[in-house]
Amino acid sequence: MIETYGSYIPRNSYMERIRPYINSHIIKVLTGQRRAGKSYIIYQIIDEIQKTDRTANIVYINMEFAEFTHIKNDAALYEFVSSRFREGRINYVFIDEIQEIAGFEQAVRSLFAEEKWDIYCTGSNAYLLSGDLATYLAGRYVQIQIHPLAYAEFLVFHRLENTTAALRKYLRIGGMPYLASLLKSAPPDTADSREALAFEYLKNLYESILLRDVVARENIRNVRFLENLAVYLADNTGSLFSASNISKYLKNQKINMPVQTVLNYLKALEKSFLVHKVQRADINGLKIFEIGEKYYFEDIGLRNVLTRNPLPLDIAKLVEQVVYLFLVQRGYTVYVGKNNDAEIDFACEKQGAKIYVQAAYRLSDEDTWRRESGGLEGIHDYFPKYVVTMDEDLPRQSPRGIRVTYLKDFLMMEI
């Protein structure tokens, strides 16, 4: 049996999506930000296979391990995997961080065509299958994005109850899975020192993502500008803007940067899964607007490492950021909604169903409530409408049919 490198906490929501494809002739591609937990999902799949078939032949390649550095191109990959085929057994191949292998598409295409392998691979690039492999294998692969921990998972990993204190911890350090082990093994000390330890890890992780998955892979020349752009996105999380607005802002800072270069660098940050671009859409037919979008980070902790905004002034952005992540983790396609002159923070679709969500830090007075709920009141369909807030003492249902929900409760919902 293959060794799966120690114990781990199962992430069953992903296994439920992957399980139907095990032993089927379709390539399973797990994508996601570096250190989001893709390798441990692989270990979980391997363990499940071995529980039902102890004779299974499993070939596991992790391109971050020194023992596999000799696999530099598609020919070496194909030779390595083929030499380990075993007749009379079900053969599985798992290739972790496959984007590190030059021309990997050719090897995977050949292995798939032979119909002798159940193939799984992971990658830290959103466009992993955007080239020849996607064209050749159209309809023959399934792509599943692995996210950092959702809030419900965060509570399990960190052994916490669903309290306001736990929510605030999640809003600070985010959902990178390794933080649970790091903080558990750290010497008991003050909360501030443990948070500093978490932020040191997140800072190093951010630099690794930026250098390995953005600068090196996308041949970025102006690294200083890329770093400043990431900070700008962190400071302006959830704000509507465009590349031309960023370019104008930079000119005011005496930095001359063409709009197309800004667009290219934004795209590079998206491809590494560091940030998500969320487009605006008219909710009446979901017409997509080409101008004006919002950016959110894949992980709250990584975003907090970059921002220059102090937490007391930044909490409203964090509420909006965590609501967005929850909706994406639940499998929704998310837009910034526009209904005539009103804006809805999130208009979401999944399998023909819709929900509308407004995120607000406080709803302390009638003017604030009117501002936050006004866009939702103008939507006349029967899909669910939520205002999500950090205020706890609010009615569960407003007179206007809009459900008001405390953030920590919303993040635990099955929607």
Distances (CA, A) of 367 to 358, 363, 371, 374: 15, 9, 6, 10
- Please tell me whether residues 288 and 198 are part of one structural domain: yes
* 287 lies in some domain: yes
Q: What span, in angstroms and rounded, lies between the C-alpha atoms of 280 and 293?
A: 6
* Same domain assignment for residues 275 and 238: yes
The CATH number assigned to the domain holding 79 equals: 3.40.50.300
To 10 degrees, the CA torsion angle through 61, 64, 68, 70? 130
Helical packing angle, 259-271 and 243-252, nearest 10°: 120
Residue at which a domain ends, from 145, 179, 213? 145
Name residue, tokens 């399998």: 351
Is residue 113 located within the same domain as residue 155? no
Residue pLDDT, tens place only, 201-228:
999 999 999 998 999 888 899 999 999 8
Phi, psi of 143 (to 5 degrees): -115, 125
In single-letter form, the type of residue at position 155 comes to: L
In the numeric block, the tokens 């937490």 are attached to: 311
Reading phi first (left if > 0) and then psi (alpha if -120 to 50, else beta), residue 310 is in beta
Domain check: are 172 and 99 in the same one? no
pLDDT tens-digit readout, 33-59: 999 999 999 999 999 999 999 999 999
344, 358 contact by CB (below 8 A): yes
Enter the pTM of the model.
0.91
Residue 266 and residue 220 share a domain: yes
Q: Which amino acid is at 281?
A: A
- Residue 3 is assigned to a structural domain of this protein: no
Is 415 inside any structural domain?
Answer: no
User: Could you tell me the two tokens for 106?
Assistant: 């050719």
> What is the number of structural domains in the chain?
2
Residues 6+ positions from 321 with CB-CB distance below 8 Å: 237, 238, 296, 297, 300, 303
Range of the domain at 175: 151-410
Whether the pLDDT of residue 4 is over 50: the answer is no
Residues of the chain with pLDDT > 90, as a percent, come to 62
**Residue 355, SS3?**
strand
Residues 136, 265 within the same domain: no
DSSP 93-156: EEEETGGGSBTHHHHHHHHHHHT-EEEEEEES-TTTTSSHHHHHTTTSEEEEEPPSPPHHHHHH
Co-location of 233 and 118 in the same domain: no
Write out pLDDT tens, residues 358-395: 999 888 777 777 777 778 888 888 899 999 999 877 66
The residue written with tokens 């630099």 in the block is 207
Which pair of structure tokens corresponds to residue 203? 């800072």
DSSP, residue by residue, 341-370: TEEEEEEEEETTEEEEEEEES---SHHHHH
Cα atoms in the 13 Å half-sphere on the side-chain side of 66? 0
Structure tokens at 189: 């000390």
Q: Is the pLDDT of residue 412 over 50?
A: yes
Dihedral in degrees, nearest 10, Cα atoms 151, 153, 156, 157: -100
In whole angstroms, what is the distance from residue 69 CA to residue 100 CA?
10
